[in-house]
Amino acid sequence: MSKCIGCGIKLQNTFKDKLGYTNKLDNPYCARCFKTIHYNMDIKVNDINNYDIINKINKLGYYTIFITDLISLNKELINNYNLINNNKILVINKCDIIPDNLKLEHLEENIKRVYKIKEEIFFISSKQNLYLNRLVNLIKEYEKVIICGETGSGKSTLINKITNSNLTTSKYNNTTLDFIKIKLDNYVIYDTPGLIINKNKVNIDKIMLHTKSLKEDYILSIDDLKIMGIGNLTLLVSSDVVIKSKKDNSKLDYEYDLVNKDIVLDKGFIYINKGKIKTNRKIEIRDSIIK
């Protein structure tokens, strides 16, 4: 049975409400990919299992390129990266939208230190064709490689750029549904379904850099997170994050005394040089990757 060249799912013409449906089995794309490509439709998929994907990656055993972006780095993502037993590399995509005052060499050192990563880290931009030659040379060196990572990280866009393939790409999550084997003259690339790390994941096209000062009796709201206290904050967040500040005496239940730490958000992170804060929910905290 043939597969959709866009998402890798097996094609079938029996069940219209099931993945892989096409009215003709000789069509190159399933109906879902066709609608995504031509009508920009977001058709949700709920049955992606990270452990099944990682087990298959480990079973194949090929050199693995794990792709994410700077503001998606968190404990759960790194835990999934660490579950991959193959020789591997961590690739930070979308480096073109990282603010210019953050030096990539410094970020690389800090990410390795904070998350105890021993492997190399590459920064690239598949959209702007930045630093892709290093990655292409690595692929040619290993001949058979797997490209994986969080959904929305730009895996399929990258593969299309370096192989002239026709994988379906979109701003929506989980475009790729099954492993896709791409054969070229001297090497083979496997595209994989995106891992679900953050259910609120959005396709990040722009990072905003904000500086805020916490004021006594004022609550700073960053999407669903509320912060009160004393201290100066540097926010690196997706451009769609809503930030508000207002005077409020609401009770916040969680207290933290932070020095050179990042608060990890769904769509970015907050750097605190020194401050005592209260929040409305538990937060993920790490040693800062920007200081």
pLDDT digits (tens, 9 = 90+) for 54-97: 999 999 999 999 999 999 999 999 999 999 999 999 999 999 99
pLDDT at 162: 80
Total domains in the chain come to 3
**Structure confidence by residue, pLDDT tens digits, 107-143:** 999 999 999 999 999 999 988 888 988 988 998 899 9
Confidence of residue 170 (pLDDT cuts 50, 70, 90): very low
**Binning pLDDT at 50, 70 and 90, where does residue 168 land?**
very low
Q: Are residues 10 and 114 in the same domain?
A: no
Of 147, 166, 191, the one marking the end of a domain is: 191
In a domain, 202, yes or no: no
**Residue 130 and residue 16 in one domain:** no
The yes-or-no verdict on residue 39 having pLDDT over 80 is: no
222 has a pLDDT exceeding 90: yes
Residues 32 and 66 in one domain: no
Which is more confidently placed, 26 or 62? 62
Query: How far is residue 253's CA from residue 24's CA, in Å, rounded to a whole number?
Result: 58
pLDDT band of residue 163 (cuts 50, 70, 90) is: confident
Is residue 197 one of the residues assigned to a domain? no
Which tokens is 156 given?
Answer: 């399929």
Those residues with Cβ within 8 angstroms of residue 237's Cβ, 6 or more apart along the chain or in another chain? 71, 207, 208, 210, 222, 243, 265, 267, 268, 269, 270
Residue 185 and residue 79 in one domain: yes
Q: According to the model, what pLDDT value does residue 1 have?
A: 56
Per DSSP, the three-state class of 93 is strand
36 and 52 together in one domain: no
Q: pLDDT-derived band of residue 193, with 50, 70 and 90 as boundaries? A: confident
Co-location of 161 and 248 in the same domain: no
Joined together, the tokens standing for residue 141 give 């060196």
Largest CA distance in the chain: 66
Question: Structure pTM?
Answer: 0.80
| Domain assignment of residue 99, yes or no | yes
In a domain, 201, yes or no: no
Residue type, 74: N
Residues 30 and 57 in one domain: no
pLDDT of the residue at 85: 97
147 and 191 Cβ atoms separated by less than 8 Å: yes
Choose one of 43, 61, 76: the last residue of a domain: 43
> Is there a single domain that holds both residue 132 and residue 29?
no
Are both 115 and 132 inside the same structural domain? yes
Find the domain containing 66 and state its range.
Answer: 48-191
Give a yes or no: residue 196 inside a domain. Answer: no
From CA 5, how far away is CA 182, in angstroms rounded?
10
CA 77, CA 81: separation in Å to the nearest integer?
A: 6
* N-term to C-term CA, the chain: 53
Question: Mean of the per-residue pLDDT values for the chain?
Answer: 85
- The continuous run of DSSP H or E covering 135 comes out as helix 132-142
For residue 33, give the nearest of 54, 58, 4 by alpha carbon: 4
Q: Read off the CATH number of the domain in which 133 is found.
A: 3.40.50.300
User: How large a percentage of the chain has pLDDT more than 90?
Assistant: 47
Percent of the chain at pLDDT > 70 equals 89
Task: State the pLDDT confidence band at 169, using cuts at 50, 70 and 90.
Answer: very low
Residues 115 and 76 in one domain: yes
Look at residue 167 and tell me if it is in a domain: yes
Of residues 43 and 228, more confidence is placed in 228
Residue 32 lies in a domain: yes
Residue 177 and residue 267 in one domain: no
Give the span between the Cα atoms of 279 and 274, in whole angstroms: 16
Closest C-alpha to 145, from 108, 96, 188, 199:
188
Task: Answer whether residue 73 is part of any domain.
Answer: yes
Residues 174, 216, single domain; the answer is no
Q: How confident is the model at residue 215 (pLDDT cuts 50, 70, 90)?
A: confident
Residue 172, pLDDT > 60, answer no
Averaged pLDDT, 187-201: 78
Residue labelled with tokens 């700077």 = 70
pLDDT value of residue 177: 57
